[in-house]
Amino acid sequence: MKQSAIDKAPIQYFPLDRLYVSDMNPRTRKGSDWDGLRLLAESIKIAGLIQNLAGHLDEDGKVGIVAGGRRLLAMTEISPEDMASIGLAEIPVRIAPDEPTARAWASIENTAREALHPADEIRAYGRMAESGSTVPAIARVFGQTEQHVYRRLALAALPAPVLDALKAGDITLGAAACFTVAQSEALALEVLDRVRGQDVSDWRLKQALQPDAIGKDDRRAVYVGMDAYEGAGGELTRDLFADEVFLTDPDLLDSLFNEKLAMDAEMLGQGWKWVETSDDQYISYEVTSKLDRIYRVEGELTEEQAIRYDELAELAEGDVLDEAGQAELDALQAVCDGDFTDTQRDHAGLFIFVARDGQLTVQAAFVRPEDRDAAIAAEVLTGHAAMRGQTGSAADAEPKSPISNALREDLNRVAKGARQHAVLRDPDLLIALLAYQLSHDLQWRNPLGLSTEDVPNWPTTAAEGYALDDRLTTNAPPDMHGKDLGKSFRAFRKKGEDHIRGELTRFLAAHYRGGSEELRALVDKDTKPAIREVWTPTAANFFSRVGGPYLNDLWRNLLDLKEDHPTATTFAKLKKGEKAEKLAQLFADPATRKAYGVNEAQEARIAAWLPEGME
């Protein structure tokens, strides 16, 4: 006997005084929670009778309620006037054809009560909240957790057409949650018309619903800070279902960004001949190639400082350096790095910008063409830098070189060969260079003549139910624009062999694609990959993206059901979205599998199942 059997029975209407709680019904007045009944009565006054009662006509023409006894008891606490005002002067009751059926219904009511459709539940919670009911009270009435009620209430303010589409199965519950971040109701309804009945990822849906919104990880938002943005009157949209925050006023954010960048530039530019800011996340080579670059005057450590530097660096490599020690190491490193002299500052300037990670970045220092002569006279520019680009200089008067371009190319190749010959003597250095190049995205400044090909490992749409080792999905390469690669590589090597090997391992793994069928089989034999170790099929990532007949077959095959088995026929009558959710629960929820009596062999089948052709 299934809940659907009750749903198909005829409905008749009776006055409240003709109804009573049948002895078959486990809900009796004696065992009732009076506080809970009063709360339920309030919910019926507000939201109406969402689920009908079910009962059996006795010999006296009265109806013994076998399913919904608690609702009946709650309605006896409501005045006749209030019952009439909410359309319950007569109560709808599904009538069982005979007593054995009524007893079966009573059992269903007690053990397998049908859950409310999410759209009905959302509306009922919303009406109760509007009338002043608290979340704990709503949770108690409906037998749900407070967290569940909070999530449903977050959807209660959705436009009515969105909830109608959810009820009709045109959108999923996850898609409905996306509509809570819509910039406006008009946009929400426009997007709803476009996506109704389609499989659209949550990410694309949110993009469509908030085309002008800015994520909290945007470099401008990180640089300005959320507190400063909100303090200036900026509004936020919070996605309670994905723990995301969106900034909805891009003009205000741009204004705050420019103001803060100007203030920081004024402070950092003190003492320099000029300072220039950029709205971009880097300074292009086209800009800096027209200028002369100058560098800090490096400092020298005393013998005592050098010994202390090595001690601290060793502790840092072992991750045992405390805060005070790190500060001391940073101070010694600053001495090594040196600084610009006052004379250099008098003739050069800085570029200041905000990098893609939201951090203020200074690219220094450069001499402009109009300042070259004065910089040369002050010996800020010397050697080749002083000769570059001068007209009428001795450099321009030099005779044409007797070395042709072809010969120059051969000589350059010889020089590269000599470097390769020398570096063969230091395999550890080569391995460190490879790890450094792969992990730092050096682009055209790569030290090794190797290129990598992207090997995609992330779904283009729903990534729900998919979890890789963090080493394959995190640790984005740092922004290397304007960085001194010599100093950067020296710091990289100081982190030790374990770090270098770890970086090399994770980047080689991220570029592994298998090779030939024979080679891939050999590697698989050693590594034993298991797709279900990292991927579990869900409604979003698989079930909602295939057809209903496929889902019907899968349901039967997993549970060993014949086509005419009630569990199979009930599943086949569900809407596609409901089928997808039920299958997702079967894979993810042990309680669901237990409820369906899944045996050991079926458990193993579900745990190992993969779509055909996936290997």
Beta bridge partners, 63, equal 19, 57
- Phi, psi (deg, nearest 5) at residue 118: -50, -40
Residue pLDDT, tens place only, 164-206: 998 888 888 888 888 877 767 888 898 898 888 887 877 788 7
> What are the structural domains of the chain?
3-114 (3.90.1530.30), 265-394 (no CATH), 409-527 (no CATH), 533-608 (no CATH)
Q: Parallel, antiparallel, or unpaired: how do β-strands 19-21 and 63-67 relate?
A: parallel
Residue pLDDT, tens place only, 389-426: 554 444 444 566 677 777 777 777 777 677 778 777 87
Listed range (62-71, 110-119, 471-480, 527-536) with the worst mean pLDDT: 110-119
**Residue 223 is which amino acid?**
Y
- Phi, psi (deg, nearest 5) at residue 371: -105, 0
Q: Is 9 helix (H, G, I), strand (E, B) or coil?
A: coil
d(CA 178, CA 499): 41
> Which string of b and e fits 86-120 if b means at least 16 CB within 10 Å?
eebeebebbbbeeeebbebbbebbeeeeeebebbb
Task: Give the residue among 171, 174, 177 at the shortest CA–CA distance from 195.
Answer: 171
d(CA 532, CA 535): 5
User: C-alpha distances in angstroms, 432 versus 19, 387, 398?
Assistant: 83, 36, 43
473 near 435, Cβ under 8 Å? Answer: no
Listed range (259-263, 317-321, 555-559) with the worst mean pLDDT: 317-321
532 Cβ partners below 8 Å, 6+ apart? Answer: 607, 608, 609, 610
Q: Which helix (H) or strand (E) holds 91?
A: strand 90-95
Which residue's structure tokens are 């599998």?
Answer: 593
Residue pLDDT, tens place only, 336-395: 888 899 999 999 999 999 988 899 999 988 999 999 999 999 988 876 666 665 544 444
d(CA 209, CA 138): 30
Q: Parallel, antiparallel, or unpaired: how do β-strands 11-15 and 244-247 relate?
A: unpaired
Residue pLDDT, tens place only, 235-249: 887 665 656 677 878
Q: Parallel, antiparallel, or unpaired: how do β-strands 11-15 and 90-95 relate?
A: antiparallel
> Mean pLDDT over residues 519-539, rounded?
85
Q: Is 21 helix (H, G, I), strand (E, B) or coil?
A: strand
**Residue 68 is which amino acid?**
G
